[in-house]
Amino acid sequence: MLSILIPTYNYDCSRLINDLWLQCTTSGIDFEILVCDDGSAQEYSKSLSAINLPNYKFEALTNNIGRAKIRNRLAHKAQGEWLLFIDCDAEINDSQFINNYKKNLQDNTVLVGGTAYYPHNDNPNHSLRWTYGTEREGNNNYKKNFTTFNFAIQQHIFLNIQFDETLTQYGHEDTVFQIMLERNNITIKFIDNPLVHCGLDDNKIYLEKIKTSNNNLLALYQSGKYPELQQHSKLLNTYLKLKQKHFTLLFNLFYKIIKPLIIKNLTSTKPKIKLLDIYKLGELCA
């Protein structure tokens, strides 16, 4: 049995749910779709609770419990041997999406389907997230790192590892989960089965989320629980090298001078991702 698990927050994923239900029904697979709303505004939970489909269950939480804890909650409620985690702001663009997973399922192997983006972005307020996605996450770049956006895993493997619930904010829960998979000798297999990422952040919101992600990254590394983070994160590795050579203060002074120009570019219609890398490092040093 396949349990499709979708955590949601302030996003109407009704179309995604209906598309998944139709594909599962057509494929003849034994399935369930579990959706858990993480304390969204009432209009979103009302829309999802109104869906009336067999094998579909919806739960709305009154308080936000965070990205890690809600995924663990869904996994514990699942009845299937296999869990397919999908982010709520995904869209299916392949009629064989479920069948592609079905034919690749194998023991002791986590399948990562990947992330895609539409070829054009018409909203200038989403230019940064779209550009980053197309350059760093799309075009098979997802095969470099594990991502929680779209992946399948056996339930017993997941329950043995789970997401680190100390992570309540945005950032690096996928990196930590990959480290745990590697520690447990679980194979990560990247397959060409992407979903389209539609829920793009506003440019300024995305820059603020990067600061939160930086905080998570540094706190996780300083906790001593995940020393492998230095190998998994180029950003952290660069920061630690600067710190070792006592260059962080110098870089921070340089960054403060050019920061207004960087932000001006990153919030423009044609942001440069190289400047985003400098922004990330500058904020981490700060």
pLDDT score of 41 more than 90:
no
Per-residue model confidence (pLDDT) at position 230: 94
Per-residue model confidence (pLDDT) at position 249: 92
Look at residue 213 and give its three-state secondary structure. Answer: helix
pLDDT of 184-209, one tens digit each? 999 999 999 999 999 999 999 999 99
Structural contact between residues 86 and 4, judged by C-beta atoms closer than 8 angstroms: yes
Cβ within 8 Å of residue 92, ≥6 positions away: 16, 19, 20, 23, 195, 196
Checking phi first, is residue 92 left (phi over 0); if not, alpha (psi -120 to 50) or beta?
A: beta
Per-residue model confidence (pLDDT) at position 168: 75
pLDDT of 234-243, one tens digit each? 999 999 999 9
pLDDT score of 143 more than 70:
no
User: What value does the mean pLDDT take over residues 84-103?
Assistant: 97
- Buried b / exposed e over 31-40, threshold 16 CB at 10 Å, is bbbbbbbbeb
Ordered domains of the chain (ranges, CATH): 2-200 (3.90.550.10), 205-285 (no CATH)
Radius of gyration of the chain (CA): 19
Checking phi first, is residue 171 left (phi over 0); if not, alpha (psi -120 to 50) or beta?
A: left
Q: Which of 21, 192, 24, 231 is nearest to 112 (CA)?
A: 192
pLDDT of 249-278, one tens digit each? 999 999 999 999 999 999 999 999 999 999
Q: Which of 223, 285, 224, 218 is nearest to 258 (CA)?
A: 285
pLDDT of 113-126, one tens digit each? 999 999 999 999 99
CB atoms < 10 A from the CB of 54, how many? 9
Entry field: residues in the chain: 286
Per-residue model confidence (pLDDT) at position 30: 97
Q: Burial, 94: exposed, middle or buried (Cβ in 10 Å; 0-12, 13-18, 19+)?
A: middle
The residue with tokens 């804890």 is 69
pLDDT score of 142 more than 60:
no
The more confident residue out of 167 and 226 is: 226
Q: What is the mean pLDDT of the chain?
A: 94
Per-residue model confidence (pLDDT) at position 138: 81
The span from the first CA to the last CA of the chain, in angstroms, equals 48
pLDDT of 44-67, one tens digit each? 888 899 999 999 999 999 998 988
Per-residue model confidence (pLDDT) at position 207: 97
Per-residue model confidence (pLDDT) at position 43: 83
